Amino acid sequence: MIEMLFATHNPNKLAEVQQLLPDHIKLLSLRDMGCKADIPETATTLKGNAKLKADFGLATYHLPCFADDTGLLVTALNGAPGVHSARYAGPQNNAEANMAKLLRALGDKEDRRAKFQTVIALNMNGQTLYFKGEVQGSIRKEKSGSGGFGYDPIFEPQGYDITFAEMPLDTKNSIGHRGKAFSKLIAHLGSLPAVK
């Protein structure tokens, strides 16, 4: 059994990722470690923020650690909210307020193209590796669905006529940005002799 730290406080993310991991990896969260610190996400890129969190986890708890940062990049808003997605409407990290602000910013614009992007930083065996996943889609004019979290109720992935919030979790994982990035991470972990 390998213990790894996922440097997140978000129980929704933890549940999504745990579903993807092989049984021989025991995943711990910051909550499991009793950590209440809000790790500053001061980098200007998703990659930079993921590394900040993974570095904090490794330095503080001395376990192999990975962290992710995810952003919603809207074409008509020049890539906003991007790296500021979680706190787009303010420091309180409120999904409803974030969605409301985004819908106001887009207004009646015809171009509603957007993509979700996740970057994972893994600190293990003295090195940092990165894994990226993204999914193209568009922003709905109003919310639909009660599942998922964050911007899921207004994001419709390309090729579907439902939002992420209307999808079963396993479907979202198979096509989504986080699922793609974590699939790459898991393939890497599975290739290491130490975790076979």
Tell me the CATH number at 44.
3.90.950.10
Which domain covers residue 171, as residue numbers?
Answer: 2-195
Sequence-ordered list of residues with C-beta below 8 angstroms from that of 62, at least 6 positions apart, any chain = none
Do residues 114 and 137 lie in contact, with contact meaning Cβ atoms separated by under 8 Å?
yes
Q: pLDDT at position 192, please?
A: 66
Q: pLDDT at position 41, please?
A: 85
Q: pLDDT at position 5, please?
A: 95
Do residues 170 and 179 lie in contact, with contact meaning Cβ atoms separated by under 8 Å?
no
pTM above 0.75, yes or no: yes
Q: pLDDT at position 38, please?
A: 82
Do residues 77 and 103 lie in contact, with contact meaning Cβ atoms separated by under 8 Å?
no
Q: How many CB atoms lie within 10 A of CB 117?
A: 23
* Series of mean pLDDT values for 10-residue runs along the chain (196 residues): 88 77 84 88 94 96 95 97 94 92 96 97 95 97 92 97 94 90 86 55
| Strand locations in 59-174 (E) | 65-74, 81-82, 113-124, 127-139, 155-157
Q: pLDDT at position 193, please?
A: 59
Buried residues in 131-161 as b, exposed as e (16+ CB within 10 A)? bbbbbebbbbeebebeebebbbbbbbbeeee
Q: pLDDT at position 16, please?
A: 73
Q: pLDDT at position 52, please?
A: 96
Active centre residues (catalytic)? 69
Buried residues in 165-181 as b, exposed as e (16+ CB within 10 A)? bbbebeebbebbbbbbb
Give me the number of domains the chain comprises.
1
Do residues 102 and 95 lie in contact, with contact meaning Cβ atoms separated by under 8 Å?
no
Nearest Cα to Cα of residue 153 among 166, 169, 135:
166
Q: How many CB atoms lie within 10 A of CB 34?
A: 6
Distance CA 170, CA 191 (A): 23
